[in-house]
Amino acid sequence: MNLVSVIEDRKSIRGFLDRAVSRETMESILQTARWSPSGANLQPWRVEVVMGATFARLKSRLTELAGAGVPVNPDYRFHPEIWKEPFSGRRRACGFGLLNAMGVGRDDAPGRRQAWLANYAFFDAPAAMMLFMDRDLGKGAWMDMGMFLQSILLTAHAHGLGVCPQAATADYPDVVRELLGVDRQFMLLAGLAIGYPDPNAPANAWRTPRLAVAEFATFHE
């Protein structure tokens, strides 16, 4: 599998087989991802790998909080306060496309709620990585974290694994930090659901479209 194929074939996975991911595999992914570039070689990433009983407690706690409607308090704002086009339209198309693939209609309130709560259970994945970063670092470190995240996604795909990056799993960062013993100096950016993809999961049959190069790139010659 060459790099181009890995990039073009990768997609977010929201349905996993009941098959454990070994600690050795998770370590191998990070052994590769650690070579990601970072400005001034700051290497701002901190990763908490969550598996087994600890992961079960984390999923249970986050699902409990979200299900009870406890207000979220993420460490940062993921989306803009005011939406504008074309971004608002893309966001709606993404949400409706995923729900349609799962057989959940726009008027199916219980189905939509269940689909949303599945985020906090990491879609029943057998393992996860929680990504943290020192909150005193500047905006450049966010770029570094993005490159590190991409390295994880591509390496996991090369290992035959599926991953779904989830901002929702960072909605209750204080709870996550307490459960994992992480100091508040580190802000929680996202969680990554990791496991072997279920080929029969409806959500996994759907993929978001991409813009043509001519729609986002200008060549100056």
Query: Do strands 127-134 and 186-195 pair parallel, antiparallel, or not at all (unpaired)?
Result: antiparallel
C-alpha span between 211 and 18 (Å, rounded): 35
Domain parsing of the chain, residue ranges: 12-216
What top-level class would CATH report for the domain 12-216? alpha beta
Q: Is 43 exposed, middle or buried (0-12, 13-18, 19+ CB in 10 A)?
A: middle
AA letter at 102: M
Strand partners, 176: none
C-alpha span between 82 and 189 (Å, rounded): 21
C-alpha span between 131 and 23 (Å, rounded): 17
- Tens of pLDDT along the chain (221 residues) come to 789 999 999 999 999 999 999 999 999 999 999 999 999 999 999 999 999 999 999 999 999 999 999 999 999 999 999 999 999 999 999 999 999 999 998 889 999 999 999 999 999 999 999 999 999 999 999 999 999 999 999 999 999 999 999 999 999 999 999 999 999 999 999 999 999 999 999 999 999 999 999 999 999 99
C-alpha span between 76 and 135 (Å, rounded): 10
Which residue is associated with the tokens 């990554």? 192
pTM attached to this predicted model: 0.95
